[in-house]
Amino acid sequence: MRPHRYADAEHSFRRALATTAPLPPHDARIRASLGNLVRVAAAYHSAGRTVEAERLMALVREHVNQQRTASRTAVRYDDLDRSFLELTRVRPSIVRRPGRGRSSESPVHHGFDPLINENARRFGLDPALVKAVVAAESNFQVAAVSLSGAQGLMQLMPGTARQMGVKAPFDPRENLMGGSRYLRDMLDRYDDVKLALAAYNAGPEAVDRYDGIPPYPETTAYVKRVLRYFEDYRQQATR
């Protein structure tokens, strides 16, 4: 990639914003500039330059968040996010478990195994458990952003990321470190895998308030899904 592509893309985007009506939800120049930013960010990501990719996508999010406030028909960041993920080709396949006609939905992805194993050793965790959390949280998508603002592979909320010492939440190494550290904290706090996973998903305050897994459909489904993935990944490790 030519070094000036990033600066050109950002300059073009800001110039388009400055020369059109405030926050135009359907202006062709804005859409084209957003698409260009996403393409350049994906190219940076593929080249291993995650800081530049994150900066570009943050610029996209900033504009789209403003649009959401100004118009119900604004450009959807979700569409741009899907474009980014498609361009970076972070699309795990599905493994099916034989027997009894049932299938598991455990995503097959080995690209992050070295980092997962490294952080599992660092924090005294089972690598299969860390991998199961990654699979359930983001499906191995490094640029994943939830509606609540959770970011990256292990879907760290900004406040949690700061507490865990994560400065670049979309950097796989930092995100896996922060998520693994937080998972270790939850396991130490509850000494129970199910409660630790529930706290990871819903927050420890919710677990304490209900003195157990909170009765949230999302959380109960999350705990079951992670445990299912955990079992699959442990079995795969022994083959």
The verdict on 138 and 37 lying in the same domain is: no
Catalytic residues: 137
Domain that includes residue 107, residue range: 93-237
pLDDT: is 144 or 224 the higher one? 224
pLDDT confidence tier of residue 59, bands split at 50, 70 and 90:
confident
As given in the structure block, the two tokens for residue 101 are: 């006609």
Same domain flag for 60 and 105: no
Looking at the predicted structure, is the pLDDT value of residue 150 above 80? yes
Residues 210 and 106 in one domain: yes
Q: What pLDDT, on the 0 to 100 scale, is given for residue 89?
A: 45
Compute the mean pLDDT over every residue in the chain, rounded to the nearest whole number: 77
Q: What pLDDT is recorded for position 131?
A: 96
Same domain, 50 and 113: no
Note whether 83 and 180 are same-domain residues: no
Last residue of a domain, one of 65, 88, 111: 88
Tell me what pLDDT residue 54 has.
73
Q: pTM of the predicted model, to two decimals?
A: 0.61
Number of domains comprising the chain: 2
| pLDDT tens-digit readout, 91-143 | 333 333 333 333 456 888 888 999 999 999 999 999 999 999 999 999 898 88
CA angle 36, 37, 42 (to 5 degrees): 100
Do 79 and 105 share a domain, yes or no? Answer: no
Q: Could you read off the pLDDT of 151-207 as tens digits, one per residue?
A: 999 999 999 999 999 999 989 999 999 999 999 999 999 999 999 999 999 999 999
- Write out 138-200 in H/E/C secondary structure: HCCCCCCECCCCCECCCCECHHHHHHCCCCCCCCHHHHHHHHHHHHHHHHHHHCCHHHHHHHH
